[in-house]
Amino acid sequence: MGKVWTNPEGAAGLRAALLAWYDRHRRDLPWRRTRDPYAIWVSEIMLQQTRVAVVVDRWREFMACFPTVFALAAATEQDVLALWSGLGYYRRARMLHKAAQAVATAGGAMPTTSAELRKLPGVGSYTAAAVASIACGERIAVVDGNVERVLCRLAGWDAKGGHERKVQELAARLVDEDRPGDFNEAMMELGAIVCLPRNPQCLVCPLAGSCKTRGEHKTAVRIRSVVREAGCALCLRAGPCVLLEQRPSTISVMPGLWELPALRDVPNGNARMTVRHAIMNVNYVVRVRDVSEEDLPELAATGSERRWVRVNEAMAMALTGLARKILKRIGKGLG
């Protein structure tokens, strides 16, 4: 038992078992119904640091608005960010937009190899391998966090890290020649729904007979979350309209997005509402206070601006995730 994949026959058996499991149990995700490199590329960018359940509807909305690389290339950055709002890590959207413009300028044909895909802005080795294997059938391994966990457990390597090269080599050796895209997706799927970081479902794992650890394997220590408090100013007037503030283009975090003006201190008793919002390992407790425009501090000379916008129209703007969350609650109350 264990490590039978070290010989050709064992590796072939592992591939067959994994693909048979994947054919029976894979989740029905919309981007798995196409082999369009553009559509798969968009899904891979969205899935970075974002849960599948969140991406499904957002991918559909994005593809409905920008069904081709030409449509995305022709859009304004603000239109792209507006559809991306709430997914976070907005640099992904900006680089996706720039890459689409590069592809459109070159004639509109998406690159079909991982080497060519890596030349696009914002496309790293992981994304290039995923798109090339899934959409174009290139025999190249895809290694994300889920795949790394599966392979480390399979081989019995310490989960503390330092095995990047060995993991990549093992993944490359195992990837199926005839169905490389399906094999890569199967490995990622196995890590996502069976070989979990905690409480792995070893009894239903198709690779249990080839696994050295059978789940008796510690995972990396999770980063502890941090709680911080913040405040926002809610300025409303007839319409109903809300006053929004654009983040300066000169800052590194979410430049150009629209949000409610920030307040340094909002006592709990003065808050209209309290909203919880998480960004990576930071959990924010945000108190929202009714404030008149006259009581707001002057806008710093950063090239930014403030703008009165109808509440229902604001939802189509490039909002920060926190602003979108607050305005959804405000809209329900006003409705």
pLDDT score recorded for residue 296: 85
Give the CA distances from residue 239 to residues 16, 40, 295, 324, in Å, rounded to whole numbers and listed in that order: 62, 41, 20, 18
Residue 220, token pair as written in the block: 């990396």
The lowest-confidence range among 8-12, 234-238, 266-270, 283-287 is 266-270
**pLDDT at position 299, please?**
76
Residues 15 and 154 placed together within one structural domain of the fold? yes
Domain extent for 176: 4-210
How far is 220 from 321, CA to CA, in rounded Å? 29
Among 42-46, 129-133, 179-183, 206-210, which stretch is predicted with the lowest mean pLDDT?
Answer: 206-210
Whether 219 maps to a domain, the answer reads no
Contacts of residue 331, defined as CB under 8 A and 6 or more positions apart, other chains included, come to 311, 312, 315
pLDDT over 80 at 335, yes or no: no
pLDDT of residue 219: 53
Domain count within the chain: 2
Same domain, 177 and 247: no
pLDDT tens track for 176-203? 999 999 999 999 999 999 999 888 999 9
- Residue that finishes a domain, picked among 210, 235, 260: 210
Residues 25 and 155 in one domain: yes
* Residues 288 and 144 both lie in one domain: no
Which residues have a Cβ under 8 Å from the Cβ of 252 and sit 6 or more positions away?
none
Query: Is the pLDDT higher at 35 or at 295?
Result: 35
Q: Is residue 175 part of a domain?
A: yes
Write down the pLDDT at residue 213: 85
97 and 126 part of one domain:
yes
Q: What pLDDT is recorded for position 64? A: 97
Q: Is the pLDDT of residue 169 over 90?
A: yes
State whether 91 and 156 are in the same domain.
Answer: yes
Instruction: For 304-313, write each residue's pLDDT tens digit.
Output: 789 999 998 8
Q: What is the pLDDT of residue 4?
A: 53
Q: How far apart are CA 302 and CA 61, in angstroms?
A: 33
Q: pTM, whole model, 2 decimals?
A: 0.78
Which one from 9, 44, 138, 169 is the annotated catalytic residue? 44
Residue 127 sits in a domain whose CATH number is: 1.10.340.30
Q: What single DSSP character describes residue 55?
A: H
Note the pLDDT of residue 5: 61
The reply to whether 202 and 267 lie within a common domain is no
Q: Is residue 220 part of a domain?
A: no
- List alpha helices for 156-241, DSSP H: 164-174, 180-193
- Among the candidates 148, 175, 210, a domain finishes at 210
The dihedral over CA atoms of 185, 188, 190, 196, expressed in degrees to the nearest 10, equals -170
CATH code (residue 291): 3.90.79.10
Of the listed ranges 38-42, 215-219, 262-266, the one predicted with least confidence = 215-219
Q: Are 238 and 184 within one domain?
A: no
The residue-averaged pLDDT of 151-157 equals 90
In a domain, 202, yes or no: yes
Residue 278 and residue 149 share a domain: no
Alpha carbons 46 and 42: distance in angstroms, whole number = 6
| 216 located within any domain | no
Task: Summarize the confidence of residues 26-46 as an average pLDDT.
Answer: 96
Is residue 218 situated within a structural domain?
no
219: Cβ–Cβ under 8 A, 6 or more apart, which residues?
Answer: 149, 159, 197, 198
Same domain assignment for residues 127 and 245: no
Helix spans in 106-204 (H): 114-117, 125-136, 145-155, 164-174, 180-193
> Of 154, 176, 210, which marks where a domain is finished?
210
Tell which residue, 324, 308, 331, 319, has the closest CA to residue 82. 319
Active site residue 293: no
pLDDT(223) > 70: no
Inside any domain, residue 69: yes
User: Is residue 298 pLDDT above 70, yes or no?
Assistant: yes
Tell me: do 100 and 196 sit in the same domain. Answer: yes
Query: Do 12 and 78 fall into the same domain?
Result: yes
Instruction: Give the pLDDT confidence score for residue 215 in this predicted structure.
Output: 63
Q: How many residues does the chain have?
A: 335
